[in-house]
Amino acid sequence: MKLKGQGISHKYIGFFFLAVILLWIKTYVTQLTQFDLGIQNSIQKFLLFLNPLGSALIFLGISALFKGRKKYISLIVIDFLLSFLLFANVVYYRFFNDFITLPTLTQTQNFGDVSSSVSSLLKPYDFLFFIDTILLIALLVFRIVKIEKKDMSRQKVAALFSMALAISCANLSLAEADRPQLLTRGFDRNYIVKYLGMYNYTIYDTVKSTTASAQRVMASSDDVTEVKNYTNSNYAAPNPAYFGAAKGMNVIYLHLESTQNFLINYKLHGQEVTPFLNSLTRDQNTLYFDNFFHQTGQGKTADAEFMLENSLYGLPQGAAFTTKGMNTFQSAPGILGQQGYTSAVFHANSGSFWNRNEIYKSFGYNNFFDGKYYHVNPEDQAEYGMMDKPFYQQSKPMLETLPEPFYTKFIPVANHYPYKMDQSLATIAPAETGDASVDDYFQTARYEDEALKEFFDYLKQTGLLDRSIIIMYGDHYGISENHNKAMAQVLGKEITPFESAGLQRVPLFIRVPGIQGGTHHEYGGQIDVLPTLLHLLGIDSKQFVQFGTDLLSEQHDQLVPFRNGDFVSPTITAVRDKYYDSTTGLELSQDKLDEAKKYHEIVDQKLAESDKVVNGDLLRFYTPDGFKPIDRSKYNYNKGQEDSSK
């Protein structure tokens, strides 16, 4: 394309198409190299190449509606915004292995806390995401391209948009042919980006998010009746051998940040990484579940808490903690509060992080001991609060102020990405894969394990160990799929999609004084913890709207949905529309696909029904017999002005 003389370069249309081509190629290369989209055939390869073109024409074409110099300025502004959107998604993907959604942009209260992690995600070549914008500005500044005063005619503008829409429609038709129901069954954002591109995905996400927000207005009591019938039909009756085994006991949740199950009994440099947790797999009073999976989406830790407190799934976009904090819930602290329990959360970070200081009120927590209750010395500082050992140490006096029985949750953060720690505190050498996140992960996991042992020793010394049920759970993965190459070295095998699904296992330990411990192989997920806990405490979960089932019940449902619509079970594992034998890891033969697709239909319905409850705030229309709706106005987490409802 000529850039000098009296040719097309001095016409706006030439400058426009140069911008389109640069954005198109940049976006294609980014989608190809920065995201793991699972390209499987020639149609998908072609669509990945094609989809940025239609988007570039449509979005940059908006500039043609302006006049004079403004059309050049608007073109550059739009190009910059699209480039920034692309760059932001790349940085987000490097950690979360996912794409930004509109609800995640509302989580501004978290931005200050995560800024230190963002810097570790940046790469030296990231300036290239803006190279086309810089080039376009330079062409104008140095007058290599002169501004054309004449504006495009309406006919040319119409022709431009017609061409853009034709390309986009052809793109969508080909995508629908290769992936039927692409837009209606869109739990997995990978598919939308792969088939339609980053910019069209943003439009799709905006529409989906807006629609979800409108569901509350349209909801009625009829909707909750349908959901209640659904959960009743999937209810699992308690196991008589365990029902009421922990009746009247304290409940202590110990959050295992970013802890994956492969760490249990794993040895590095000949040493156990988690010797204390390993010992609990042999403890006579501890149930250990080795096929327990996290089911979090974009909310990660917040999603894990949401499921454990409510037995409702997190949302497909964003986090219910930040977008649904004012909803009506029938959460564990609210349920147990009406059984005489005092409740509290201990977390040495800002109370506004993940909107905890608001949604905890809707859950019915009496107390929230957040960062303002802790004194964080510089040497005790962690990425998102304070190191685990001083955190537990400073939490003890606050725990001792709570009347028994109590329901408590401790959220330590030392084992959090990017897994950096003072080497004077490290008691195991890092791994040697060459991937810093993976290598350092073992040091912070060991430190987390040591802090847990110290806290258990305290519980034993005070007698709390003998009168409390203690639940330890992994909240989400610590090492994302972006590090599969290093994980292959750690585990000594290739990390296939099937193996990656298996790596979503996280530990679950339930210690109950007096019961017979042991390892349980049942498949389950975070959605199942609340009904399991209630039954151990002698409270039947049937009257509540819960989507999990008791892990100890003979009727427990071992189909474990993931938030993107994939699933695992003892027989079949589904990953990105491929189905595997859960025992062998081999793809299923054609004659078994019907059963797999039936599982997928069950998963889709389960997720959709839960989303109805959360997006429609349906629990405001239903109150179980004997349960009083939680009054969030009773709770105050300001230091010195704590809850007076107890």
User: Looking at residues 11-31, what average pLDDT do you find?
Assistant: 95
User: Looking at residues 496-502, what average pLDDT do you find?
Assistant: 95
What is the tens place of the pLDDT at every residue in 53-73?
A: 999 999 999 999 999 999 999
Can you give the pLDDT at residue 180? 77
What is the tens place of the pLDDT at every residue in 367-421?
A: 999 999 999 898 888 877 899 999 999 999 999 999 999 999 999 999 998 899 9
Name the residue type at position 307.
M
Number of H helices, E strands in the chain: 21, 18
- State the pLDDT confidence band at 117, using cuts at 50, 70 and 90: low
Can you give the pLDDT at residue 115? 53
Name the residue type at position 140.
L
- Per the annotation, binding residues for substrate are 416
Got the DSSP string for 151-210?
A: PPPHHHHHHHHHHHHHHHHHHHHHHHHHSTTTTTS---HHHHHHHH-HHHHHHHHHHHHH
Judged against a pLDDT cut of 50, whether residue 320 lies above it is answered with: yes
- Per the annotation, binding residues for Mn(2+) are 257, 301, 475-476
What is the tens place of the pLDDT at every residue in 447-464?
A: 999 999 999 999 999 999
> N- to C-terminal Cα distance for the chain?
75
H or E element that contains 580: strand 578-581
- Tokens 């020639």, located at residue: 42
Residue 432's alpha-carbon distances to 435, 439, 443, in angstroms, are: 8, 6, 12
Judged against a pLDDT cut of 70, whether residue 643 lies above it is answered with: no
In whole angstroms, what is the distance from residue 107 CA to residue 359 CA? 14
What is the tens place of the pLDDT at every residue in 504-543?
A: 999 999 999 999 999 999 999 999 999 999 999 999 999 9
Judged against a pLDDT cut of 80, whether residue 102 lies above it is answered with: no
Angle at 56 between CA 214 and CA 40, to 5 degrees: 80
The separation between CA 74 and the C-alpha centre of its own chain, rounded to angstroms, equals 35
- Tokens 């940049």, located at residue: 26
In whole angstroms, what is the distance from residue 472 CA to residue 411 CA? 11
- Contact assessment for residue 599 and residue 559, using Cβ atoms and an 8 Å cutoff: yes
- Tokens 């989406």, located at residue: 297
* Percent of the chain whose pLDDT exceeds 90: 77
Give the list of residues 6+ apart from residue 227 with CB closer than 8 angstroms, or none.
545, 609, 612, 613, 618
Q: Which position has the higher pLDDT, 236 or 112?
A: 236
Can you give the pLDDT at residue 11? 85
Mean pLDDT computed over every residue of the chain: 91
- Tokens 């869109």, located at residue: 186
Judged against a pLDDT cut of 50, whether residue 476 lies above it is answered with: yes
Can you give the pLDDT at residue 2? 46
Judged against a pLDDT cut of 50, whether residue 230 lies above it is answered with: yes
Q: Which position has the higher pLDDT, 210 or 565?
A: 565
Find the helix packing angle between 593-616 and 221-233, rounded to 10°: 140
Judged against a pLDDT cut of 90, whether residue 606 lies above it is answered with: yes
User: Looking at residues 113-119, what average pLDDT do you find?
Assistant: 59
**CA nearest to 606, candidates 644, 553, 562:** 562
User: Looking at residues 554-559, what average pLDDT do you find?
Assistant: 98
In whole angstroms, what is the distance from residue 558 CA to residue 247 CA? 26
User: Looking at residues 118-139, what average pLDDT do you find?
Assistant: 91
Judged against a pLDDT cut of 90, whether residue 109 lies above it is answered with: no
Helix/strand/coil percent split, the chain, to 5: 50, 10, 40
Can you give the pLDDT at residue 5? 43
Determine whether 155 is exposed, middle or buried from the number of CB atoms within 10 Å of its CB (0-12, 13-18, 19+).
exposed
Can you give the pLDDT at residue 504? 97
Judged against a pLDDT cut of 50, whether residue 8 lies above it is answered with: no
In whole angstroms, what is the distance from residue 319 CA to residue 297 CA? 8
Q: Which of 114-123, 145-154, 212-221 has the lowest mean pLDDT?
A: 114-123
Q: Spell out the SS3 assignment of 387-411.
A: CHHHHHHHHHHHHCCCCCCEEEEEC
Which positions are annotated as active-site residues? 301
Give the list of residues 6+ apart from residue 233 with CB closer than 8 angstroms, or none.
none
Can you give the pLDDT at residue 550? 98
User: Looking at residues 608-621, what average pLDDT do you find?
Assistant: 96
**CA nearest to 549, candidates 246, 100, 232, 322:** 232
Judged against a pLDDT cut of 50, whether residue 644 lies above it is answered with: no
User: Looking at residues 209-218, what average pLDDT do you find?
Assistant: 79
Judged against a pLDDT cut of 60, whether residue 235 lies above it is answered with: yes
Judged against a pLDDT cut of 80, whether residue 181 lies above it is answered with: no
- Per the annotation, binding residues are 257, 301, 416, 475-476
HSE-up (13 A, CA, CB side) for residue 80: 11
- State the pLDDT confidence band at 544, using cuts at 50, 70 and 90: very high
